[in-house]
Amino acid sequence: MTTDPSTSSGQALSGKWVWIWNWRRCDGGDPAKIAARLRDAGCRGVLVKAHDGPRWFDQGRPWREIAAALRAEGVAVGGWAYLYGRDPAGEARLVGETVSYGRADLFVLDVEAEFEGRPQAAEELCRRVREGVGGDYPLYYSSFAITRYHRSFPYEAFERYCRGAAPQLYWNAFRWPARQAIQWTYEDYAALGAPPQRLFPVAGLYAGRGVPYPAAADLEAFAGEAAARGSPGISFWSYEHMNEEMWTAVRAVPPEGGPSGPAERREAQTEEAESAEGGTEMPSLEFQQLSSAHTALTDRVASLEADVEALKRRPSPRRPRPAGRTYTVRAGDTLSAIAARLGLDDWRTLYEANRSVIGRDPDFIRPGQVLKIPT
C-alpha cells in the first residue's frame, strides 16, 4: 500500500531549478558547461525532458547518460515529460524507467489541456505512475497557473498523488503585471486546497513571437513573493531560451528563492499581514473595474463550461471534417490545446501541416496566424 507523498519529509524541488527542453540546444549539450552555468547562477538542479507521451524524447543520447554526466558535475537532476493520457500504461512505464534506470532525483508530470474534462484519464495515469515509482518518491505535476480559467482540469487527482505542483506562471506571456499573476496563482491553488508549501511556481524566461522577456525587477518580485508566501522552491523555463540578462537575474535571486534571510522573509510576511488588515491604500478605480470585469468573466466562463458539458452529453452522429478548414491562433493558445479542441489525435500532426507558417519551434505560435487543419 502506498503512502501519501505529501507527508514525506523534505521537498526535493526546493531551491532554484532550471528546465531543459532540448539538450543539444543548451551549450551544445556539454555537461560541464551546463553544470558550470547552473552553479554560477546558484541553482540546485536541472529538470531534463525524458519523454513525450509514451515515446522517448530524442536528446541525442540516452537520458540516463545525461543525468549521470550532470550528477558527476555535482548537479541534481530531475526528469519531466509532456503527457497526454491516451496511453497511461505506456506513459507510466517510461516515467518508471526514467526513475529506476535513469536514477532521476525527482520527476515532474507536465499535464495541460489534454486532461481537461478527463478525470478518469488523470486518475489512471497517476495511479499507474505512483504504483511504478513507489509511495515515497518525489513526484510533482506542472500545469496551469490561473486555475479559475481551467475549471474542468482534474487538479484533485494530481494533488492526491503528487507531492506538489509547479504552476506555469508565465506573466510575460499572459501580459499581466507580475504581482497580479502571482497573487491569483496562490489564491487559485489555495481554493483547491493546495497550501503554498506545496507550490513551486515556474517563471517563463523566454521571448519571441510577440512575448517579451520578463523584466529583472519582475523576476525579483516573483522570487520574493514565492518565498514570502512559503514556497520552498522555484524554477525557470527554460535553459535554451534564457539570454545573459535572464541568467544574471536568476543569479541575483538567493538560493532559497526569495528574500535574503529569515528576517527579511518575516518582514515580507508581516507587510502582507498588515496589508490584509488595511495597512495600505484602498484599491484604485482601475483595479476595482478590473475586479468587476474578472468576476463577470469568471461567471461567463462557468456558464459556458456548463453549456459545453451539456452538449458533450448529447449524442450526435460523427460527421466527416470538411476539407480546407482553418483555425486562427488566439492569445494564450498552444498547439496541444488547439489540437485537443479540434479533435485531432496529436498536436504534431497540426504542426507538420503548418511548419511553414509556425517555423522551427512549435512552442511559439503568434495570435493571428492562420493554421490549416489536417484532414
Answer for the pair 321, 373: CB distance below 8 angstroms, yes or no: yes
Answer for the pair 152, 116: CB distance below 8 angstroms, yes or no: yes
Q: What is the CATH number of the domain that holds 137?
A: 3.20.20.80
Output the nine-digit C-alpha cell for 22: 532540448
Which one of 276, 307, 334 terminates a domain?
A: 276
- 312 assigned to some structural domain: no
- 218 assigned to some structural domain: yes
107: closest CA among 144, 70, 143, 137?
Answer: 137
Q: Is 338 exposed, middle or buried (0-12, 13-18, 19+ CB in 10 A)?
A: buried
Q: What residues make up the domain containing 73?
A: 8-276
> Cβ atoms within 10 A of the Cβ of 348, count?
15
Which one of 217, 246, 276 terminates a domain?
A: 276
Residue 158 and residue 269 in one domain: yes
Query: What is the percentage of the chain residues whose pLDDT exceeds 90?
Result: 64
User: For residue 294, what pLDDT band results from cuts at 50, 70 and 90?
Assistant: low
141: closest CA among 122, 124, 128?
Answer: 122
Q: Measured between alpha carbons, how far is 20 from 77 in angstroms, rounded to an integer?
A: 10
Residue 260 and residue 344 in one domain: no
pTM of the full predicted structure? 0.70
Mean pLDDT of the residues in the chain: 86
Total domain count, the chain: 2
H/E segment holding residue 202: strand 202-204
* Average pLDDT rounded to a whole number, residues 102-126: 97
Please say if the pLDDT value at position 68 is more than 90: yes
Residue 47 and residue 121 in one domain: yes
Q: Measured between alpha carbons, how far is 14 from 12 in angstroms, rounded to an integer?
A: 6
- 338 assigned to some structural domain: yes
Give tens-digit pLDDT for 212-264. 999 999 999 999 999 999 999 999 999 999 999 999 999 999 976 544 444 44
Please say if the pLDDT value at position 321 is more than 60: no
Residue 36 and residue 132 in one domain: yes
Which one of 242, 276, 310 terminates a domain?
A: 276
Please say if the pLDDT value at position 324 is more than 80: no
Residue 365 amino acid letter: I
Q: What is the CATH number of the domain that holds 359?
A: 3.10.350.10
- 296 assigned to some structural domain: no
